[in-house]
């Protein structure tokens, strides 16, 4: 199950491609079943990842990316550190000050107040930052500089490359769930997950370890992808 879920959120593959790839390995699973696994498992894995996420710095880059859901454009609010690591993300139905503030408050609740936030000329982000500064009485330096925001704009590409290949985002809720795990896998690849001291683990093993995580321990990993049963298995 975890291998199918990881393939789906890590690479630009459709569910039917994953069904075919598993069949070549002697495991028969329907593409609809894989989709159910994704929807059920992703919220749990994403929540576990947050417990082992690296500490953050105080300089953020904030922007939005356009994502098509059920034939309509929605907006993925994202923020990264100045070094490129992901701060937080939130899929919203509208691009307005209310949505931008909701994202900013969520990010601050998870990671504390940043010292400065760099944005482009977005009026929604400007209004959100100004309202948070006024209501919470916090000192956040806001910079509007497009070239400094290239970091987050380039980081959008890794997410959009996968979402373009996913026709399964038929509803806003399912899109939110799937994007959450795409972002989680992206953060793992960027090295944002704490690993046991002295151990080097691949992104695949780190992802699988989320399913067996316990406080202070992440070493009971799932078997590697190469250790797949040779006898055909049918999963309904």
Q: For the chain, count helices (H), then strands (E).
A: 8, 7
Q: Are strands 72-81 and 86-92 parallel, antiparallel or unpaired?
A: antiparallel
Domain ranges for the chain: 2-52+193-235, 59-175
Per-residue pLDDT of the chain (236 residues; tens, 9 = 90+): 889 999 998 998 888 999 999 999 999 999 999 989 888 888 888 888 887 777 677 899 999 988 888 888 899 999 999 888 899 999 999 889 999 999 999 999 888 889 999 998 888 999 999 999 998 888 899 998 878 888 888 898 888 888 876 665 678 888 888 899 899 999 999 888 877 666 778 888 888 888 875 444 443 333 333 333 333 334 44
Residue 228 has a pLDDT of: 31
Predicted model pTM: 0.79
CA distance 30 to 20: 9
Candidates 3.10.20.600, 3.30.420.10, 3.30.420.40, 3.40.50.300; correct CATH number of 59-175? 3.30.420.10
DSSP state of 214: B
DSSP reduced 3-state for 226: coil
Q: Are strands 27-29 and 233-235 parallel, antiparallel or unpaired?
A: parallel
CB of 178 within 8 A of CB of 107? no
CA distance 184 to 178: 10
Altogether, the residues listed in the chain come to a count of 236
């Amino acid at each position: 199950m975890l291998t199918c879920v990881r393939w789906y959120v890590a690479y630009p593959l459709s569910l039917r491609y994953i069904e075919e790839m598993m069949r070549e390995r002697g495991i028969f699973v329907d593409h609809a079943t894989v989709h159910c696994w994704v929807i059920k498992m992703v919220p749990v894995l994403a929540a576990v990842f947050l417990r082992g996420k690296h500490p953050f710095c105080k300089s953020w880059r904030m922007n939005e990316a356009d994502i098509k859901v059920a034939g309509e454009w929605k907006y993925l609010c994202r923020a990264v550190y100045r070094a490129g690591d992901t701060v937080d993300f939130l899929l919203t139905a509208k691009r307005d000050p209310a949505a931008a503030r909701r994202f900013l408050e969520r990010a601050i609740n998870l990671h504390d107040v940043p010292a400065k936030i760099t944005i482009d000329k977005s009026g929604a982000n400007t209004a959100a930052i100004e309202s948070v500064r006024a209501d919470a009485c916090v000192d956040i330096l806001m910079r509007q500089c497009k070239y400094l925001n290239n970091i987050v704009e380039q980081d959008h590409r890794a997410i959009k490359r996968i979402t373009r290949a996913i026709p399964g985002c038929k509803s806003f809720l399912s899109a939110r769930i799937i994007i959450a795990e795409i972002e989680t896998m992206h953060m793992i690849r960027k090295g944002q997950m704490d690993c046991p001291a002295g151990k080097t683990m691949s992104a695949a093993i780190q992802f699988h370890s989320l399913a067996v995580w316990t406080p202070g321990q992440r070493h009971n990993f799932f078997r590697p992808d190469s250790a797949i049963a040779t006898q055909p298995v049918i999963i309904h």
